Structure 1
Amino acid sequence: MRPFAVLCLALAAALPAQIRAQETLPTFGPTPKNEARWTGAGEVGLASARGNSTTENANVRLRAAYEDHDFRHEVNLSGLRASSEVNRGSDDAPERVRETTANRYQFGASSAIKYDDVSFWKSTLRHEHDDFAAYSWQSTFGIGYGRVFMLDGSGRFLAMEVGPGYRRARDAEEERTESGAIARGFIDFRYPLTANTDLINTLLIESGDDNTFAQNDFGVQVSMTERMALKAGFQARHNTDVQDGRERTDRLTTMNLVYDFK
């Protein structure tokens, strides 16, 4: 079975049977003709250690979206960097050397045309660079159809996108560039547990003949004020085609401060 057909079946199976579309949606819904809105959020997490060991790490994310009655445009940025000092040299002449242990950044952009209150056509662009992954960089472009769902009117939210795309990637070990068609799927799910606590999960799949890339981001976000929140997150990134000796899955656990710009 072709990757596109497999992806469509997997995404369809992931939808709960009881989900139904609603006319009024919290994040991607009908906007009056004379109104437009900006939304956005930024989050940052930092950690530093000093003493017998010296380490620093930071991760940041930024998302901004502009939406009117007919369109929604969105950009997002993320970055991860970590470094540590290690002992080198002999016992007589010890030397502490700083080494970078993680260096990754990602940029994404999308534009959607609303077909009706719950359906849209969307184009997406994504580029990432990672000094420690099987692919030093990956760039993808996709187009597809999306639909927004709600379980009820309490803020529970689900959006799904599926469509074809194109991918270029640089193999870090063999230093060659791969390119080819892909099938792209995306799921965005949010579930309010309490008045100030939300479960958030996004799943991105880009499947082609050379490699299938999947990234899942799960988070629990607790609001402290109207604009400030704390978020505990777990990210898993998976490539099916990697060199011998490399892990297929990278995992990242974070505790971030979130600021809402809405």
Structure 2
Amino acid sequence: MKMLLTAMAVVMAAPFAAHAGADFVEGDKTFAGEAELGATLTTGNTDTSSLKARLSLKQELGNWENQYLFEGLYKEDTEELTAKRYYGAVQGDYKFDDISYMYLTGNHEIDPFTGFDFKTIASAGYGHKFIDNGPMYLSAEFGPGFIYKKLDDEQQALLGYSSEDSVVAHGSMTFTYDISDSSRFTQLFVADYGDSLEGRSESAITANIIGALAMKFAVIVRYNNEPLDDKKSTDTETNMTLLYSF
């Protein structure tokens, strides 16, 4: 646990330490973001409600490019909670040149339907941009990391221990392609391999409606080859949201 806290502290502090020590002028600062929201509400014979929210921020400070991500998912069916997930991530990339960089990343996820109270991952390593020519972008990252997972009370009683942790090999790939001036396809893969294999894939298409407002359709797949108890290995999530860029 001490290793995890140390790693997370480094991840969280690195971008701000770089900000304090970097030699840059005011014009080097850039900040951009995207906010998403999708909701469903039905009443009558069936009472259901769902809410999906996401906030993605990007900041450039000299040689550092920092990214912040916050997601929330809530679903209720006839007053019964059927899904609840909160996810936060931060990453700092130190650019060596136009195509290579060092990354520091950490994320924290709360999803009680997996049998864990929470899961935290921290990693550091090397990233490379293979394609960055305007309409197409492809990058990959690889490095060592550490994962810590806290079991919920039911699983603790069943298994006889409270947490799991291990060193992992972390890898990710990001691909984007501008289909047209107003639409884009994005594909993200993330995998962490240690005592088990955990992965996440997100495929999305965005299409501009007007100005900075767009419609986004996304399919998210989460995979764990060793799920707890009677849990399933694969979770899928399909969303249609409004996206605002700023």
* Category of TM-score, reference length = shorter chain: 0.7 to 0.9
Unaligned ranges ≥5, structure 2 = 1-23, 157-161
Q: Tell me, yes or no, if structure 1 residue 198 matches structure 2 residue 191.
A: no
Written as runs of structure 1 = structure 2, the 5 A alignment for 1:53-132 is: 53-85=46-78, 98-132=79-113
Q: C-alpha offsets along residues 113-150 of structure 1, whole Å, 9 cap, x if unaligned?
A: 11111111011010000011143311011001001122
**Normalising by the residue count of structure 1, what TM-score does the alignment of the two structures yield?**
0.79
Aligned residue number for residue 161 of structure 1 = 141
Letter in 2 for 1:250: D
SS in structure 1 of the partner of residue 113 of structure 2: coil
- Bigger RCO (CA 8 Å, 6+ sep): 1
Q: C-alpha offsets along residues 128-176 of structure 1, whole Å, 9 cap, x if unaligned?
A: 000111433110110010011226x342111111000011012345322
Unaligned ranges ≥5, structure 1 = 1-31, 86-97
**Normalising by the residue count of structure 2, what TM-score does the alignment of the two structures yield?**
0.84
Q: Tell me, yes or no, if structure 1 residue 141 matches structure 2 residue 127.
A: no
Instruction: Give, in whole Å, the separation in 2 of the partners of 1:250 and 1:170.
Output: 19
Q: C-alpha offsets along residues 16-50 of structure 1, whole Å, 9 cap, x if unaligned?
A: xxxxxxxxxxxxxxxx9642210110111101111
Aligned residue number for residue 212 of structure 2 = 227
Letter in 2 for 1:225: I
Instruction: Give, in whole Å, the separation in 1 of the partners of 2:176 and 2:149.
Output: 31
- Counting matched residue pairs gives 216
Letter in 2 for 1:215: R
Q: Which runs of 4+ in 1 moved over 6 A?
A: none
Instruction: Give, in whole Å, the separation in 1 of the partners of 2:145 and 2:206.
Output: 32
The Cα shift of 1:58 comes to: 0.6
Which of 170-179 and 182-191 deviates more? 170-179
Q: Tell me, yes or no, if structure 1 residue 42 matches structure 2 residue 35.
A: yes
- Does the aligned pair in 1 maintain the 2:114–2:228 contact within 8 Å? no
